[in-house]
Amino acid sequence: MKIELNADFAAWIDRESENLAGQVRDITHEFPRSTGALHPDHPVTKFGREDIIGEISVSITEPTGRLSAQFFPHQGRQLGLSGASMNEAERTVERIWSRKEFVNILSRDTVRELLLSFVGAKARELQTPSLSDRLLQIVDERVQSLSVWIPIEEVFVDGEFKFATATLSPVSKAELDAIVQDGCTGAPADGLMKLREKLHAKWAGRTIMRLNLTAEPARARELALEQAADYMTLLQIYTSAAMVLSLSSHVAPKGARPYRTDECIVFAPKFFEQKKSIAEATHQLVIDAQHCAFMNQMGLSILSKLACGPTCDYEERLLSSLLVYGRACYQLDPNDKLLQVMTAVEMFALRSDNEPIQAALADRLAFALSDDPNSRQQIAQNLRDAYAARSGRTHHGRSISDTEVVEQFLSNAWGFFLAALQGVGQFRMRLEFLDQIDGKKYGHGG
């Protein structure tokens, strides 16, 4: 893939990278040393120089994941960037990567690697192309149309299920064999056989999310994982966890939301027991014809379109609230679930931070969900009761005692967001939706 850079932007890239190269200094005294902190019985993997491909890169990373130093070995010394210079390098990486030319096709790590490689080569007085030229070269060499498959836990799909830019469906052994054959042309036959067997064992029959992206492989993986996480979060509105307080959802990309487990060893003279078990209720999202019809009735097509990208203030605010709402379904603690669902409702149903929260939410849920005065009274009272339970947990550390009240609130919150989905295409601004609800209250709304 070929792209062009604005001349001023390219000149800025080269100027900043040259400036950083000029800040390289001897930081041999900062080079990390082995601490020997492991227990002597801890398994250690050993490898020799023959196992290393390419040049060794040594850096120091803080517990937060931020790179704090990068070393460039040269003539028995360790040159490098650290401290303020490394911070400046990270800011430069961010400014380059976040530009529209690169953000959707190159990963931040790739941009960082190219910048530091350029700086290291300059510091050691090696010949190297300019950073702007190197970026364009990498785009040309690596960016291509790619398919990415993400395994999804606790989902059964009967056939194909399309959502936003993805398709959920089981993967067959034949499909796995085909992509190995196509992607590993020229590999030894015995190696291909072992790879097929491994893929069959781990992937065959599983539900996967299929996405097509144009990017370098590293960025395609990042984007696919981000999209898969967001798509499955939005689909929580159609899971049992949205209604059942004690149920935590694990319908997510594999490894993202694992089940809690109990694991222990119990022993005594002439007795030994090792145990490992799942410590919570399990459930699966079954997307068959019946449930698919229900999802379609409950606004699936609107949610799918919204997931592809918001087009106005109303859609942006609704998408943000739905992502918070969906993440609540993953909460292990019922108190945390209530707090997060309430937060999602507040995000969309309050005009501002200055409104009285209980009164505003009670009325808006009531008038959004029902035309019957008695029903509205019940919905409003339920919101006040659920809010009291939320406040009791937040301010006094109390546990939820009335599950029925909270689960009724969960049902009302679910209905509120379904009503909000129906406003997509009807409203451009969130306040227009709130105006309509408030209009019903004061007798002049539709």
* Number of domains forming the structure of the chain: 3
What DSSP state is assigned to residue 399?
A: P
Asked if the structure places residue 40 within a domain, the reply is no
How far apart CA 429 and CA 424 sit, in angstroms, is 10
When pLDDT is averaged across residues 395-424 and rounded to a whole number, the result is 85
pLDDT, average across residues 323-331? 97
For 101, the domain range is 7-30+54-142
Instruction: Assess whether pLDDT exceeds 80 at residue 420.
Output: yes
DSSP 289-346: HHHHHHHHHTTHHHHHHHHT---SHHHHHHHHHHHHHHHHTT-SSHHHHHHHHHHHHH
Whether 349 and 364 have beta carbons less than 8 Å apart is answered as yes
The verdict on 178 and 118 lying in the same domain is no
Is the same domain home to 17 and 134?
Answer: yes
Mean pLDDT of 68-81: 92
Residue 442 has a pLDDT of 75
What is the reported pLDDT for 445? Answer: 52
Rg (alpha carbons) of the chain, rounded to whole number: 27
Residue-level pLDDT at 373: 94
**Which of 82, 81, 77 has its CA nearest to residue 118?**
81
Contact call for residues 385 and 405 (beta carbons, < 8 A): yes
The label of the residue with tokens 């919204």 reads 306
Are residue 65 and residue 151 in the same domain, yes or no?
no
On whether residue 287 sits in a domain, the answer given is no
Give the residue from 208, 242, 276 where a domain finishes: 242
Distances (CA, A) of 61 to 44, 58, 109, 174, 373: 21, 10, 13, 42, 60
Residue 259, domain member (yes or no): no
Shared-domain flag, residues 82 and 134? yes
Lowest mean pLDDT among 49-63, 95-109, 254-268, 350-364: 49-63
In a domain, 263, yes or no: no
**Average pLDDT of the residues of the chain:** 92
Residue 171 lies in a domain: yes
Model pLDDT, residue 35: 63
| Overall average pLDDT of the 67-93 stretch | 94
- Please check whether residues 164 and 219 belong to one and the same domain: yes
If one counts every other C-beta atom within 10 angstroms of the C-beta of residue 97, the result is 19
Q: Strand 77-82's sheet: what is its strand order?
A: 25-26, 77-82, 67-74, 58-61
Per the structure block, which two tokens stand in for 4? 């062009």
Q: Percentage of the chain with pLDDT > 70?
A: 94
For the stretch 374-400, pLDDT in tens is 999 999 999 999 998 877 555 444 556
Is the model's pLDDT at 361 over the cut of 80?
Answer: yes
Together in a domain, 18 and 123: yes
- So what's the pLDDT on residue 390? 77
Angle between helices 403-421 and 373-396 (to 10 degrees): 120
List, for residues 213-224, the tens digit of each pLDDT value: 999 999 999 999
pLDDT recorded at residue 65? 84
In angstroms, rounded to a whole number, what is the distance separating the alpha carbons of residues 326 and 235? 7
Closest CA to 207 of 146, 256, 154, 282: 154
Do 136 and 155 lie in one domain? The reply is: no
Residue 98 inside a domain? The answer is: yes
- Of 142, 160, 189, the last residue of a domain is 142
Mean pLDDT of the region 102-114: 97
**Does residue 149 share a domain with residue 110?**
no
Cβ contact 60:68 at 8 Å: yes
What φ, ψ does residue 26 adopt, rounded to 5°?
Answer: -75, 110
Q: Residue 359's Cα: distance from chain center in Å? A: 34
Does the residue 340 lie in any domain?
yes
Neighbour tally for 435: CB within 10 Å: 13
* Domain shared by 151 and 132, yes or no: no
> Quick one: 182 and 228 in the same domain?
yes
pLDDT above 60 for 446: no
Distance CA 207, CA 307 (A): 20
* 184 and 125 belong to one structural domain: no
- Cβ contacts of 264 within 8 Å, gap of 6 or more: 274, 275
Average pLDDT over residues 329-345: 94
Residue finishing a domain among 102, 125, 142: 142
Structural domain contains residue 234 = yes
Predicted confidence at residue 63, as pLDDT, reads 86
Phi then psi dihedrals of residue 401, to 5 deg: -105, -25
154 shares a domain with 61: no
DSSP classification of residue 400: P
Residues with Cβ within 8 Å of 55's Cβ and at least 6 positions away in sequence, in order, are none
User: Which residue reads 């019985």 in tokens?
Assistant: 41
Looking up tokens 């069959």, which residue turns up?
200
